[in-house]
């Protein structure tokens, strides 16, 4: 491609456009992507090989991540570089970009950096051009890479993403949340071709020495380094991560008083993401932060509401009673709860002879479709009481059994889990071995199935002394584990009469 640097020069001249990522921010995010890096070539194509913390991270972890190759390229005008000239093969040449290109064979370079934190002489080479990531020279490096990981100038974010999509590259980028509504970015989210990473919100960055002071979110440290923090920073990626498959837990129901319709469009206004009504079947305008919770299996992404004319996805100007609101993302439930929750389909764990299921099925809205126990003697009794249920006999700690339960539960549409993990270790009649009784930890197997199946609701039944066993350790452990899965927890003692 032609090397046209007009936009890059403009970006470099724009105030507050360059933000340099901290090492801690990179470590925090990239720990979630370790499995993607093995055997891959990583390109950091907006990164000074000397100063970039992306380059530092991948050099320090080159062996642990089992990288095949690391390439870091920088534009000529890096403002934070403090270059030691002997690092260059031919000394520093003005107006040229530079590159660090490392493979697994470069053991001396890798060991020097991992053991002493310094690059060996001659490690950095001058490019033939100025290092613009769109230049023919840098695109050749791009073509050789598997994953691009970088923090580009925010004004060039959409251009970099477009380039990566053109060459069908995997990526992990830092950007501004406003980019999510760009006409170049929004369709990628809508078509499930890109999604946000884990950190979404506050991040702190080093900024160039000539950055103008600001009244807020700006400071200078004891060494004179200038810093900025942004409340609307984000990671954008197309590397698969667990969080994008999580179902957003919702509890509120629609009422016309709480969810008014827009003046000029048939959609309701929702003020907070956690206030999305579970039962509304139509289009809803929600805050832009929904994209960080967006699951394409749960919601359909319709468009956006901003000025009504920004692009083909900007459908209308969001106003209520003549008052214009901040931009909204338009979504719709793929299956509103009014459709999917006419009946709860239950997985019964530690089912025994079926007392729990037998009782709950007295309510016609509940039906047990699959059950699990490790005692083969309970099968016939359970089936006699719940003849339409698939009863599985097996050990819940077995990965094979759990895989079978998960597959069948999802296939049967399970949206509720019940069960009582063994209570002998907690019971007043038992030996009260507490932490020494392995049965007392089987709640973890129960919750591992909750995590995999993600039911709308689940019930754990046990004896009341579980609340006080081991000075409340088990109760606290269970509550904390459930909350970490995104569920709201309520517990107490019921009269079973």
Residues noted as catalytic: 423
How do beta strands 226-237 and 218-220 pair?
antiparallel
CA atoms within 13 A on the CB side of 162: 9
DSSP-derived pairing of the beta strands 226-237 and 170-176: antiparallel
Stated length of the chain: 497
3-state secondary structure (DSSP) of residue 348 = strand
Distance CA 413, CA 404 (A): 14
Residue whose token pair is 């999917």: 340
- How far is the C-alpha of 208 from the C-alpha of 225, rounded, in Å? 8
From 286, 287, 314, select the one nearest 182 (Cα to Cα).
314
Tell me the CB-side half-sphere exposure of residue 411, using CA atoms within 13 A.
Answer: 8
Query: Can you count the helices (H) and strands (E) in the chain?
Result: 15, 22
Query: How is the beta sheet containing 457-460 ordered, strand by strand?
Result: 390-393, 366-373, 344-349, 416-419, 457-460
For residue 141, give the nearest of 98, 88, 83, 184 by alpha carbon: 98
Is residue 390 within 8 A of residue 315, CB to CB? The reply is no
Three-state DSSP at 462 gives: coil
Residues 6+ apart with CB under 8 A from 239: 33, 36, 147, 170, 171, 172
Question: What CA–CA distances, in Å, run from 430 to 32, 426, 437?
Answer: 42, 7, 11
């Amino acid at each position: 491609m032609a090397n046209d640097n007009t936009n890059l020069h403009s970006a470099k001249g724009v105030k507050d456009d360059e933000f340099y990522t901290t090492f801690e921010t990179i470590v925090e995010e990239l720990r979630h992507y370790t499995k993607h890096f093995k055997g891959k070539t990583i390109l950091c194509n907006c990164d000074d090989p000397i100063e970039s913390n992306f380059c530092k991270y991948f050099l320090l972890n080159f062996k642990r991540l089992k990288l095949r190759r690391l390439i870091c390229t920088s534009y000529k005008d890096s403002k934070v570089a403090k270059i030691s000239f002997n690092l260059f093969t031919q000394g520093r040449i003005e107006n040229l970009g530079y590159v660090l290109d490392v493979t697994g064979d470069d053991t001396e370079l890798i060991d020097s950096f991992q053991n002493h934190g310094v690059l060996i002489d001659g490690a950095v080479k001058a490019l033939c051009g100025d290092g613009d990531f769109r230049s023919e020279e840098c695109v050749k490096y791009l073509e050789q890479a598997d994953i691009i990981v970088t923090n580009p100038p925010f004004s060039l974010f959409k251009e970099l993403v477009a380039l990566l999509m053109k060459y069908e590259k995997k990526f992990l980028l830092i950007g501004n949340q406003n980019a999510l509504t760009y006409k170049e970015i929004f369709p990628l989210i809508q078509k499930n071709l890109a999604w946000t990473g884990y950190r979404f919100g506050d991040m702190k960055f080093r900024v160039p020495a000539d950055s103008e002071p600001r009244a807020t979110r700006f400071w200078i440290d004891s060494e004179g380094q200038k810093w900025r923090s942004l409340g609307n920073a984000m990671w954008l990626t197309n590397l698969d991560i667990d969080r994008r498959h999580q179902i957003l837990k919702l509890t509120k129901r629609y009422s016309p008083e709480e969810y008014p319709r827009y003046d000029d469009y048939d959609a309701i206004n929702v003020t907070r993401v956690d206030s999305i009504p579970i039962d509304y079947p139509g289009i809803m305008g929600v805050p832009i932060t929904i994209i960080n919770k967006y699951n394409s299996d749960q919601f359909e992404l319709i468009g956006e509401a901003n000025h009504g004319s920004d692009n083909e996805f900007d459908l209308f100007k969001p106003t209520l009673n003549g008052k214009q609101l901040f931009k909204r993302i338009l979504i719709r439930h793929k299956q509103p709860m009014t459709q999917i929750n006419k009946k709860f389909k239950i997985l019964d764990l530690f089912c025994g002879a079926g007392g729990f299921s037998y009782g709950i099925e007295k309510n016609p809205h509940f039906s047990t479709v699959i059950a699990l126990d490790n005692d083969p003697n309970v099968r016939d009794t359970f089936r006699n009481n719940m003849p339409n249920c698939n009863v599985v006999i097996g050990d819940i700690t077995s990965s094979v059994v759990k895989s079978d339960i998960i597959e069948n539960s999802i296939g049967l549409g399970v949206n509720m889990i019940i069960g009582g993990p063994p209570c002998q270790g907690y019971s007043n009649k038992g030996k009260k071995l507490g932490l020494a009784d392995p049965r007392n930890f089987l709640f973890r197997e129960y919750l591992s199935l909750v995590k995999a199946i993600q039911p709308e609701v689940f019930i754990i039944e046990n004896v009341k002394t579980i609340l006080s066993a081991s000075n409340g350790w088990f109760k606290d452990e269970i509550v904390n584990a459930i909350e970490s899965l995104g569920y709201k927890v309520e517990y107490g003692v019921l009269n079973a009469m």
